[in-house]
């Protein structure tokens, strides 16, 4: 059974809680989510790397973002575009991140 995506209107994070550039790990029921921010770009993805299923964030909650453009998986170095989740290098092949549509509303990141 797979956990459904959070319903529209679900607040995932306060914008202030997310480093810029950086990420904020959270979850909806048992679905791990990472909210990612780089300048004006705010995105949310399921927090599972498509290479070997590890989280994209470190146990501290921090995540690696190269040049403000690429999320870098801390386990084997696969990289993904912050803006689209598309794989941009490393061992994940063509597999990208699974997006959760969000918008920013009153400094909150909300499922769209």
Binding residues (CB under 6 A) for ligand FES: these are: 49, 51-52, 54, 73, 75-78, 90-92
CB of 34 to ligand FES, least distance (A): 12
Closer CB to ligand FES, 91 or 96, in the complex: 91
Give me the phi and psi of 6, to 5 degrees please.
-65, 145
Nearest to 38 by CA among 54, 15, 7: 15
Min dist CB 43 to ligand FES, Å, is 17
Alpha-carbon distances of 26 from 12, 14, 70, 86, rounded to whole Å? 7, 11, 20, 21
Q: Which of 91/108 has CB closer to ligand FES?
A: 91
Specify the pairing of strand 41-46 against strand 31-38. antiparallel
Of 61 and 90, nearer to ligand FES (C-beta) is 90
Is the Cβ–Cβ distance between 8 and 104 less than 8 Å? no
Closest separation in Å from C-beta 70 to ligand FES: 12
């Amino acid at each position: 059974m797979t956990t459904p995506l959070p319903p529209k209107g679900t607040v995932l994070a306060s914008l202030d809680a997310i480093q810029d550039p950086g990420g904020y790990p959270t979850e909806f029921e048992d679905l791990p989510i990472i909210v990612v921010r780089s300048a004006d770009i705010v995105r949310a993805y399921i927090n599972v790397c498509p290479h070997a299923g590890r989280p994209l964030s470190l146990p501290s909650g921090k995540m690696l973002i190269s040049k403000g453009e690429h999320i870098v998986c801390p386990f084997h170095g696969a990289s993904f575009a912050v803006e689209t989740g598309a794989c941009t290098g490393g061992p994940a092949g063509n597999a990208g991140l699974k997006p959760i549509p969000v918008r920013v509303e009153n400094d909150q990141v909300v499922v769209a």
